Amino acid sequence: MPDFDKLVKDGQGQNANNNSNSAQNNTNNSKEQVLHEIYTDDEIRDVNNITVTIPDAQTPIVVFFGSPASGKTLSLLRMIRYLEQNGHQVVPEAIFRPQTDKHYTKMCAGLKDMAYSTYAPGGTDIISFMLVKVLDSIGNPRCQILEAPGEHYFDGRASLEFPTYINAIRTAPNKKVWVFFVEQDWGSDQNERNLYAQKICSMQGLISPNDRVVFLFNKVDKHRHQYKSNGEPNKPIFFRNIQQQYPGIFDRYRNTGIAKIMYGEYNFKSVCFSSGVFNRTNDGREVWTPEKDWYCREFWNAII
């Protein structure tokens, strides 16, 4: 659960890794202001009290599971651009959260502006948790994506607890695709990565064995020396490094016997991804140059 006192004490908010605009801008703000920029009124009261409605119980739900600042929001925004340029529509699920939740209404209304902005979201553009639906060119729903603050998945501890709305998604009848965001060399040290790996394993123990799993090796652009001469990331190298740095996260998905012969060693998909490159400006914002469509294509093929 979010530890609001710690959050405010640290002056960090959502982006615990200190590399976002909101983290910098909020440092000197009052406790009240920091909380209100990051969380909705209902969440401040208690995120566990927010009940969610999933009106479409058929369309698969893709959950972006990632630690704070792992790049979930930027991935969603990048995918929105890609999908809309390739004949899809992306629409926020307006009734996912209570109608009285004005912050959610605002978030839904501002989503497209954020997706097409020159800058990475910062300041008050905060996305709290939301559900968006992806439709194909003739309006058939393809999937729903849940995007949420990393604090709700990993707050520095490996505990088994997740907020109410994540439990609601987990137990919903829809098929699920769990996208575990992992970044090579992330965190302050190996100890922090171990804790995050344990948290991923906790969730894997809770989800249905029928759910699909994708590992997203995010921000690969930060490791250009691990690219092939054709300009694409060398996935086996990323795979090996992630496996070493996040112990046990692949273990549950090992094929054995005939399945191993037919489908290979593991029964999950993995993707190297980058939303783009980010250049910090003097006024503390980040100019976002989206990466090539290749990354989005790979990601989309893995989740669909």
Ligand X SMILES: Nc1nc2c(ncn2[C@@H]2O[C@H](COP(=O)(O)OP(=O)(O)OP(=O)(O)O)[C@@H](O)[C@H]2O)c(=O)[nH]1
Binding site residues, ligand X, CB under 6 A? 14-15, 19-20, 66, 68-74, 120, 149-150, 218-219, 221-222, 274-278, 286
Please tell me whether residue 300 adopts helix, strand or coil conformation.
Answer: helix
Distance CA 281, CA 83 (A): 28
Q: Which of 132, 88, 89 is nearest to 108 (CA)?
A: 132
269 versus 285: smaller Cβ distance to ligand X: 285
Q: How far is the CB of 28 from ligand X (least distance, A)?
A: 19
Contact 27, 18 (CB under 8 A): no
- Asked if 22 is part of the footprint of Mg ion (rule: CB under 5 A), the reply reads no
H/E segment holding residue 216: strand 212-217
Segment contacting Mg ion (CB under 5 A): 72-80, 104-112, 155-163, 174-182? 72-80
In order of 84, 157, 179, the CA distances from 62 in angstroms are 18, 24, 7
Give the nearer residue to Mg ion in terms of CB position, either 73 or 270. Answer: 73
Nearer to Mg ion, 179 or 250 (CB): 179
Which is nearer to ligand X, 84 or 291 (by Cβ)? 291
Structure tokens at 302: 């893995």
Reference 80, options 129, 38, 117; nearest CA is 117
- Closest approach of Cβ 130 to ligand X, in Å? 11
Residue number of the CB closest to ligand X reads 150
Which amino acid, residue 47?
A: V
Residue 73 makes contact with Mg ion by CB under 5 A: yes
Question: One symbol per residue from 159 to 178: x for binding Mg ion (CB under 5 A), - otherwise; what is it?
Answer: --------------------
Q: Of 24 and 73, which has the nearer Cβ to Mg ion?
A: 73
Task: Identify the burial level of 158 via C-beta atoms within 10 angstroms of its C-beta, where 0-12 means exposed, 13-18 middle and 19 or more buried.
Answer: middle
Amino acid (1-letter code) at residue 115: A
**Residue with smaller CB distance to ligand X, 14 or 245:** 14
- Whether the Cβ atoms of residue 151 and residue 39 lie closer than 8 Å to each other: no
Contacted entry of ligand X, Mg ion, none for residue 120, CB cut-off 5 to 8 Å set by kind: ligand X
Is 204 a residue that touches Mg ion (CB under 5 A)? no
Binding site for Mg ion (CB under 5 A): 73
